[in-house]
Structure 1
Amino acid sequence: MTSADQEERHASDAARPAERGGADDGPDGGAVTAGGRVAVRTRALTKVFRGFRAVDSVDLEVREGTVHALVGPNGAGKTTLFNLLTGFVTPTSGTITVFDEDVTGQQPEQVARRGVARSFQITSLFETLTSREHVELALQGLTSQGFRFWRSEKLLGRHRARVDELLGQVGLTPLAEKPVGLLAYGQKRALEMALVLALDPRVMLLDEPTAGMGIEDVDRTIELVRRIAAGRTVVFVDHNMHVVGSLADRVTVLQQGRVLAEGAYDEVRNDERVITAYLGEADHA
């Protein structure tokens, strides 16, 4: 992305609150509802694995500029839905749109080019490389040179300012030159978010960003997600209800591949169906 493109994106981000309202179409053609433009929409989205309906006719709307949580008991279909939204799994039927552009069945790299980026539940980093080197590689991969950085020693260095900015956003500036293998688990998850941010996405999908963390790391991650969500749309999966209640503007509860309930956190956590299926079990764990 060029500096001119970034300036245009930042200008668009700054104007987003004014775009929300009751109009039929957004400035770039995206549908607008009373709560704002729809960033991600699915209609009757279904995935069947050898007769098992992992995702079953899911209708989902994620509004632009919001933080939207997907929750549910184990086996509810959250991971499959995440994989469908990002192109890692092809739907059996139904549609997926990103800002009204049909991405159904597209490959992950094609979906990424539409402004969608994701993190994964399991960390996948190079233990001997530093945080700086990870982000440099991520930025280099976006250029026409791809990952052929060895052709010139200047290629990675030209990203230094952007690398510093991204590491600063996730609080890793003091650890920029430290091998990733020496970082704490929470710091590794922060680095993964920096790699997602390197794509400058409009929509970020975070797969259990606090999984395996201690209490202090969980609270730090909540604050980090709040910061990086500014001007973006975030969809995340997390089993920690403290995280969901702290971050989510809207919550979709899945059960056996279907949408069981949806609404604000306080609404869904008091829904008798949800208490029975999931939240009640978590509260008594």
Structure 2
Amino acid sequence: MHEEVPALTATPLLETRSLTKEFRGFRAVSGVDLAVERGTIHALVGPNGAGKTTLFNLLTGFLTPTSGTVHFDGHDITGKAPEQIAPLGIARSFQITSLFEAMTLQEHLELALASPTGLANQWWRSVARLSRFRKRSLELLDQVGLADRAGAPASSLAYGQKRALELAIAMALDPKLLLLDEPTAGMGLEDVDRTIGLVKSLSAGRTVVFVDHNMHVVGSLADRVTVLQSGQVLAEGPYDQVRADERVITAYLGAVHE
């Protein structure tokens, strides 16, 4: 975990106020007030159906709230589309890998680095022009331990390596806020521990919000934990405090944490 957590009196980097999302009368998220402090790693946890994924999609613009607001770094981003939110400094890594299997790792990174410049939209005509991003792409691959696979196609990667590549792609945008959706889902223990170390290293100088069912991951990474149940905040605080909360034990942690 981060050694120094900014004072909670500072203006949050990400904040929601009374955030609500209804689907045909069903409230998946109900009046959620969330404050993510700058420079912290913040976990969203809860039992299945708690509203974690819906909340995550509201934060990233993949869903529009029924009511309430989302603020990021002084901007009201409520209802904005993902492509409008990303340039403000938010990058998201998905639970399900979405890579171009035939493209090399380096090509993935060059495209990601080119996206803010508009070159990525013409990549089929200007592959040579993407070479300007070669050095940075190799640096990013090195950060996630994949520099030696730069010229390999994405299809050749093991599952954990694909998730590491996705992290590198997200980092190509140099985000202020990195959002990770189940970063260790489907991984074996070795890959889980490697990913924990990777997220710790990538979190330096930025803020991370992640959803994960693995409480070993949450306990290893999170400075602060928000527990959701039935679309509402059940508890929030440091991991050790939250895991000892009787309401949380009853709702979730006691059933899965040894």
The aligned counterpart of 2:85 is 111
The aligned counterpart of 2:198 is 224
Amino acid of the residue matched to residue 201 of structure 1?
A: P
Counterpart selection for 2:32 from 50, 58, 69: 58
Contact 1:138 1:198 (C-alpha < 8 Å) held by counterparts: yes
C-alpha displacement at 1:244, in angstroms? 0.2
**SS state of the match for residue 159, structure 1?**
helix
The aligned counterpart of 1:146 is 120
C-alpha displacement at 1:146, in angstroms? 3.3
The aligned counterpart of 1:76 is 50
The aligned counterpart of 2:186 is 212
**SS state of the match for residue 118, structure 1?**
strand
Amino acid of the residue matched to residue 56 of structure 1?
A: S
Contact 1:67 1:250 (C-alpha < 8 Å) held by counterparts: yes
The aligned counterpart of 1:30 is none
**SS state of the match for residue 70, structure 1?**
strand
d(CA) in 2 for partners of 1:144, 1:212: 34
Amino acid of the residue matched to residue 198 of structure 1?
A: A
Amino acid of the residue matched to residue 139 of structure 1?
A: L
Counterpart selection for 2:67 from 65, 77, 93: 93
d(CA) in 2 for partners of 1:181, 1:50: 40
C-alpha displacement at 1:132, in angstroms? 0.7
d(CA) in 2 for partners of 1:218, 1:227: 14
The aligned counterpart of 1:6 is none
Over aligned residue pairs, what C-alpha RMSD do you find?
A: 1.2
Contact 1:71 1:252 (C-alpha < 8 Å) held by counterparts: yes
Counterpart selection for 2:109 from 106, 113, 135: 135
Counterpart selection for 1:245 from 219, 224, 235: 219
The aligned counterpart of 2:235 is 261
Contact 2:112 2:120 (C-alpha < 8 Å) held by counterparts: no
Compare 191-200 and 142-151 and name the one that shifted more. 142-151
Amino acid of the residue matched to residue 128 of structure 1?
A: A
d(CA) in 2 for partners of 1:195, 1:146: 13
Q: Deviations over 1:227-278 (max 9, x none)?
A: 0000000000000000000000000000000000000000000000000000
d(CA) in 1 for partners of 2:143, 2:109: 12
Compare 126-135 and 257-266 and name the one that shifted more. 126-135
Structure 1 residue ranges (4+ consecutive) displaced by more than 3 angstroms after TM superposition: none
TM-score using structure 1 length: 0.87
The correspondence of residues 15-26 of structure 1 with structure 2, limited to 5 A, is none
C-alpha displacement at 1:122, in angstroms? 0.5
Q: Give the number of the structure with larger relative contact order, counting CA–CA contacts within 8 Å between residues 6 or more apart.
A: 2
Contact 1:208 1:237 (C-alpha < 8 Å) held by counterparts: yes
Amino acid of the residue matched to residue 112 of structure 1?
A: A
Q: Deviations over 1:5-47 (max 9, x none)?
A: xxxxxxxxxxxx8xx55xxxxxxxxxxx43x431100000000
C-alpha displacement at 1:139, in angstroms? 1.4
**SS state of the match for residue 227, structure 2?**
strand
TM-score using structure 2 length: 0.96
C-alpha displacement at 1:145, in angstroms? 2.5
Contact 1:262 1:268 (C-alpha < 8 Å) held by counterparts: yes
C-alpha displacement at 1:154, in angstroms? 2.4
d(CA) in 2 for partners of 1:152, 1:132: 15
